[in-house]
Structure 1
Amino acid sequence: MTTTRNTKRKDKARVVLRKGESQRKDGKYDFRWTSPDGKRHSIYAPSLEELREKEKGIHLDSLEGIKAEARYVTLNDVFTLWAKVKRGLKDNTFQNYLYLYRQFVEPDFGKSKVSTLKKSDMKQFYNILADERGLQISTIDSVHTVLHQVLDMAVDDCYLRSNPSDNVLRELKKAHQFETTHRKALTVPEQNLLLSYLSKTPKYQHWYPIFAVMLGTGLRVGEATGLRWCDVDFEESTISVNHTLVNYDHRENNGGKKGCYFNCHSPKTKAGIRTVPMMDFVKEAFEKERAYQEESGIHCTVTVDGYTDFIFVNRFGECQHQGTLNKAIRRIIRDCNDEVLTNNPDSTILLPRFSCHTLRHTFTTRMCEAGVNVKVIQDALGHSDISTTLNIYADVTKELRKSEFENLDRQFAQWKVPEE
């Protein structure tokens, strides 16, 4: 009677190897297995102990449904898939996300293997953006928005157990003592100084109409630059806001050229489509713009997505660019303050640093100060969420209350009993 002996494979040290394990000629070890989809995979390690640690991870991944190929997939790979399937974003928002990722993530951090990413890796990456690259917290916030969505997809597609970017940005803000500062509106004296300087200074008079309109309507930059003459009803004193002009500085067209491109989009939300009352000084600003263009022989020469006859165009008849407007503001601030200080070195009323969006916030502040109903403010600004309006309203009324009590304190100061 013959007995069959069950022999097991062993390595050079006579250690019994498990199924799928083997030792190569160079002494290193490998482990081969077949995933449920029928694909063959293998991993390597210099020692049997390290190999078996990796095997544990593979076994755990298998139990939790993590794909075997996850160890080969990079963050850039998942981003490419995310960009292909992402829906529900306005094109300008989507293009900005693509730009941010390609600019700050793709070249280095994007090459990381998804399966190896840990929370500490995300923290270190955000710290690099803040400390070494000097990015503002708002920019890092936008980068995080993209990354969090991409990593959520990695979790959904079984490349990761959990999203390593969860709560990382919140912790970063605390660690760096970043404070979210509310945009400051121009005060009434600053607002009056701006309008006065623009209206009386020949060098800048052609900028008065667009900045006056933005200041007197609260329109977003793209809504103001996208206005057409047919959107303004002089008889009813109303402005129809039904689209926004968007410019891209970093998008490539089919020919591979980079540059500035314009598109006209519907507003981000239904609330963005609205009719805004036109105050008298805003109507006068439109009339000044028309007179200036007629005198200078300027007329709109462009059509963007079927829209034409834009009100605010440059000297070539092309759409105004947001960057151009903000550069003009910086020059206006500089020259206005120089003139004020030349006439009165002790003047306390100077123009602060501000941007186009500050004019929208200034309009909102004036409405709050005038006691306009919050729902009316929401409608005028095109806010879809009342909480956005309420946050601004709360900030403004808080500042207003503080200043009112300071005035009250000064009045009571005259009754203060002098110390003996």
Structure 2
Amino acid sequence: MATISKYQLKNGKTRYQYNIYAGTDKGTGQRKKIHRRGFTSYKSASDAAKLVEAEIISNKRNVTPQKAWNLGEFLDYWITHLKLNVKEGTRIVHRENIETYIKPRIGSYPLTEYTLVEHQRFINGLFSEKGVGRKKQGLSWATVKSINGTLSNALKKATQLGFIESNPTIGVEFSRKFKPQKRELRYYTLDEVNIFLETAKQEQQPSWYPFFLLMFDCGLRLGEDLALRWSRVDFNKRTLTIDQNRLYRAEADQKRQLRESGEVIDDSYLSITLDNPKTEHSSRNVPLTARAYTALLELRNKQSALQKVVTINPNLQSDPSSDFVFRRFYLTAGNVGEPISSRGAEGAMKRIAKNAGLKHLNVHGCRHSFAVRLREAGVDMENIRDLMGHVDLTTTRMYAEVTPKIKEDAMSKLEDYLNSSN
């Protein structure tokens, strides 16, 4: 039985929370409790608690894997109890694929009866289903590949556990007619980068120019850029220490859950979610270019000149958010607010490109442009790999592709060689 109680925020607003007894841990003998807070009404807290209680009852009925499970039930068990040794960002992608695409369409299939025939029909349908995807004519190639990856991963584990004899996703084919023919813009040329950055300087928010500059000049991933803190910037050595990644997908998932529970979204109590970098090689020290060093120094001075830094979570006893490098400026109020969001970065990228008269490039393309610049500058692949934090050269080659400039330089060297031999 859930217990609902109310409490007050520092700003005087009333919020509700619930506590649920979830049984006894068989390993420790201690009582297990589930606690959630932040609801704006008694009813929203009560409704959310009832859903959790129903889930607890369901889990108690299925405490051991049953071959009678349908596909949806197994996927719930897999993502909750079996898929543990992965980054939270990866888990969020799997959850989204399961809840949004898989369960509504094939979740009721008995686990042992889902075959390659059914799976091929499911994949084909995703490509052509009306009313879904950006153009409402079916899902994209990349999205369908991701959904198939989730199912393949889960059913591989089902095979290992002996729930099914073989993985029904093995052997599935993807029709080439749905593969995008036109290659999306993956990087900017050096001139385009400079035009973009000059336009970014005109933005009302002072954070955007140095934010994108670190991606173009230092190759930071979006999550690494969002997670950067002043304590990781060494102005003496002119380097950045990359040792954390911001899980912006987890933050978006938190907002979604709050909306579904009837909560009013207020950044004053949303938490910033950090994790270790993507891979072991992602932890690295990155040298700053001269203009990146200058931009960060100017940003720090601008932040220091304002009256105060506003904490984003007054419910926390200590709020580390004031150490984040890239935060929103509220110039009229004379303060620096919450750290910028991934959604804000995507919007700024699109807006700046439009104002600069450039074709749209997604945010990840900034990092791609960094790799291309390194290769055009003649940096060897091993050093490009280390600067980007890749595990192996295969991934690096996907980024540091051959560009027209590289081809021209190669042919110029050939011409010089041929001329010297005459």
Separation (CA, whole Å) in 2 of partners of 1:379 and 1:202? 32
The SS at the match of 1:317 is strand
CA distance in 1, matches of 2:159, 2:278: 29
Alignment of 1:278-317 (within 5 A): 278-297=288-307, 299=309, 301-302=311-312, 307-308=320-321, 309-315=323-329, 317=337
Whether contact under 8 Å (2:216, 2:366) holds in the other structure is: yes
Render the CA deviation track for 1:102-135: whole Å, top value 9, x for unaligned.
0111122111122222222212211222211322
- Using the alignment, how far apart are the partners of 2:150 and 2:348 within structure 1? 32
* Residue 302 (structure 1) shift: 4.1
Separation in structure 1 between the aligned mates of residue 355 and residue 404 of structure 2, nearest angstrom: 29
**1:15-414 aligned within 5 A:** 70=67, 72-83=68-79, 84-132=81-129, 133=132, 134-168=138-172, 171-174=173-176, 176-178=178-180, 181=183, 184-199=186-201, 201=202, 203=204, 206-247=207-248, 248=250, 249-251=252-254, 252=257, 261-297=271-307, 299=309, 301-302=311-312, 307-308=320-321, 309-315=323-329, 317-337=337-357, 351-393=358-400, 395-396=401-402, 399-404=404-409
Distance 1:298 1:379, change over 3 A: farther
Per-residue CA deviations over 1:218-268 (Å, capped at 9, x if unaligned) read 001111111111111111111111111112212447x95777653111112
Deviations 1:34-69 (Å, cap 9, x if unpaired)? xxxxxxxxxxxxxxxxxxxxxxxxxxxxxxxxxxx7
Q: State the SS of the aligned residue for 1:271.
A: helix
User: How many angstroms does 1:180 deviate by?
Assistant: 9.5
Residues 371 and 405 (structure 1 numbering): CA distance in 2 closer, same or farther, change over 3 Å? Answer: closer
Cα distance, 1:363 vs structure 2: 0.9
5+ residue gaps, structure 1: 1-68, 338-350, 410-420
| Cα separation, partners in 2 of 1:89 and 1:202, compared to 1, 3 Å | closer
CA shift, 1:390, in A, is 3.0
Q: Deviations over 1:298-344 (max 9, x none)?
A: 6362479974411101235212211110011112222232xxxxxxx
Q: Which amino acid aligns with 1:321?
A: S
- Name the SS for the 2:174 alignment partner: helix
Pair 1:222–1:241, CA change in 2 (3 A): same
Work out whether residues 353 and 360 of structure 2, in 8 Å CA contact, stay in contact via their aligned partners in 1: yes
Q: 1:143–1:257: structure 2 CA closer, same or farther, 3 Å change rule?
A: farther
What's the TM-score, normalizing by structure 1?
Answer: 0.69
SS in 1 for 2:281: helix
Q: TM-score, with normalisation over the residues of structure 2?
A: 0.69
CA distance in 2, matches of 1:182, 1:335: 20
1:123-158 C-alpha deviation (Å, 9 max, x unpaired)? 221122221132221111111111012222332333
C-alpha RMSD over aligned residues: 3.0
Distance 1:202 1:239 in 2: 24
Amino acid at match of 2:354: R
Shift of 1:272: 1.1
Q: Name the CA distance, whole Å, in 1 between partners of 2:215 and 2:310.
A: 20
Question: Which structure has more RCO (C-alpha within 8 Å, separation ≥ 6)?
Answer: 2
Q: Cα deviation per residue 1:358-413 (whole Å; 9 max; x = unaligned)?
A: 111111111110011222211111112222113333x23x543444478899xxxx
Letter in 2 for 1:365: V
How far the C-alpha of 1:187 sits from its partner, in A, is: 0.6
Aligned equivalent of 2:18: none
**CA shift for structure 1 position 80:** 1.9
In structure 1, the residue matched to 2:11 is none
Q: Which residue type is aligned with residue 139 of structure 2?
A: L
Distance of aligned partners of 1:388 and 1:246 in 2 relative to their CA distance in 1, 3 Å threshold: same
- The sequence identity of aligned pairs, in percent, is 25
- C-alpha distance after superposition, 1:6-40 (max 9, x if no partner): xxxxxxxxxxxxxxxxxxxxxxxxxxxxxxxxxxx
Does the aligned pair in 2 maintain the 1:76–1:111 contact within 8 Å? yes
3-state secondary structure, aligned to 1:107: helix
Letter of the 2:326 partner, please give it.
Answer: F
Q: Deviations over 1:194-213 (max 9, x none)?
A: 112222x2546542121112
Report the structure number with the largest CA radius of gyration.
1
**Alpha-carbon separation, structure 2, partners of 1:384 and 1:285:** 30
Q: Structure 2 regions of 5+ residues with no counterpart?
A: 1-65, 133-137, 330-335, 415-422
